[in-house]
Amino acid sequence: MYDLLVITGPTATGKTALGIALARLTDGEVVSADSMQIYRGMDIGTAKPTPAETAGVPHHMLDVADPAESFSAAKYAAMADRCVRDIRARGKQPIVVGGTGLYIDALVRGTDYAAAPSDPSVRRAIEAEYDELGGEAFREKLAAVDPDRAALLHPRDKKRLVRAWEVYALTGQTITRHDQLSRQVPPRYRTYTLALDYARRDELYERIDRRARAMFDAGLVEEVRALLDAGVDAGATAMQAIGYKEVAAYLNGACTLDEAVEAVCQASRRYAKRQLTWLRSRRDVHWLRWPDPPDDAAVRDAAAAIAQSVSLTA
């Protein structure tokens, strides 16, 4: 019997739908593992499940932070762990659904990201270097010593890129190695992890592009404008999410709307590549590659097969 089921994978692969279908079959509840769905008021650009989509299945770790707030993997793990323990105490099945690998690791492993040394003066110097080089060049620098962590992080994720280099600068050891040593401690949960993908790469990219364009049709520009009007700084961590930064640039006159749309599509595809690279490096991941875009029946069939394979009863 597994303590946790984890449904992960790149964007637009059907994680939300499969997680809900599994929850219905297993008397489960969903714990989101998405680093941007935690923020209130960020619904369209994060593909946050709507009440109609959740259809009565309890969801946790949505809308738990203000967009102006900085949120860490350690903070997520502490809050999500309380959710998981409460779900299990009530005899329900926790199902973790999301694509943020750092959050999933922190929850499952109980990894203490704050355990590595830190020095504010060193961090400030590294932050200045990031600003000078730019995100892409800084990530390439990190990739030369820590390709695994660089593959996982977006060039705009200044906080985590800087933190990774800070650990390396202070210890001579990469943050990936630090986490590997942490993983030698037995994980706090017995976990079955399922990663979703498509059998054809072009199908994944087409669906990513369609989803990104649909977000604009659904009011992404208005959502970002409302956040900025409410006083959320354009440099806040939440506003670095894919979709939000590009739209903020459009609203500031830095690009056209068409250019913003294309930038969101491109950034989303690149992020999916990094997610897949990270997942392929994991030995504990089981894969479900959809041969075609799944309809409701295909999702239900997949959920039933998974529930049976991990010996969960409806």
Q: What is the DSSP string of 81-102?
A: HHHHHHHHHTTPEEEEE-S-HH
**Sequential DSSP letters for 187-232:** PSS-EEEEEEEESSHHHHHHHHHHHHHHHHHTTHHHHHHHHHHTT-
Q: Minimal CA–CA distance to 220: which of 14, 23, 47?
A: 47
Of 164, 182, 200, at which residue does a domain stop? Answer: 182
Q: What is the CATH number of the domain that holds 163?
A: 1.10.20.140
Structure tokens at 172: 């001579």
Final residue of a domain: which of 149, 182, 215? 182
Last residue of a domain, one of 144, 161, 182: 182
Q: For residue 182, what are its two tokens?
A: 């942490």
Per-residue pLDDT of the chain (314 residues; tens, 9 = 90+): 688 999 999 999 999 999 999 999 999 999 999 999 999 999 999 999 999 999 899 999 999 999 998 888 889 999 999 999 999 999 999 999 999 998 998 899 875 544 567 788 889 999 999 999 999 999 999 999 999 899 888 898 898 899 999 999 988 889 888 777 766 667 788 999 999 999 999 999 999 999 999 999 999 999 999 999 999 998 898 999 999 999 999 999 999 999 999 999 999 999 999 899 889 888 889 999 999 999 999 999 999 999 988 876 54
Report the domain count for the chain: 2
Question: For residue 207, is it within any domain?
Answer: yes
Together in a domain, 126 and 270: no
Q: Look at residue 272 and tell me if it is in a domain.
A: yes
Q: Which domain holds residue 52?
A: 4-110+189-309
The closest alpha carbon to 60, from 113, 25, 103, belongs to 103
**Which residues lie closer than 8 Å to 195 by C-beta, 6 or more apart?**
8, 9, 279, 285, 286, 287, 288
- Whole-number Å distance between alpha carbons of 37 and 64: 9
Q: Are residues 149 and 286 in the same domain?
A: no
Look up the CATH number of the domain holding residue 197.
3.40.50.300
One domain, residues 104 and 118: no
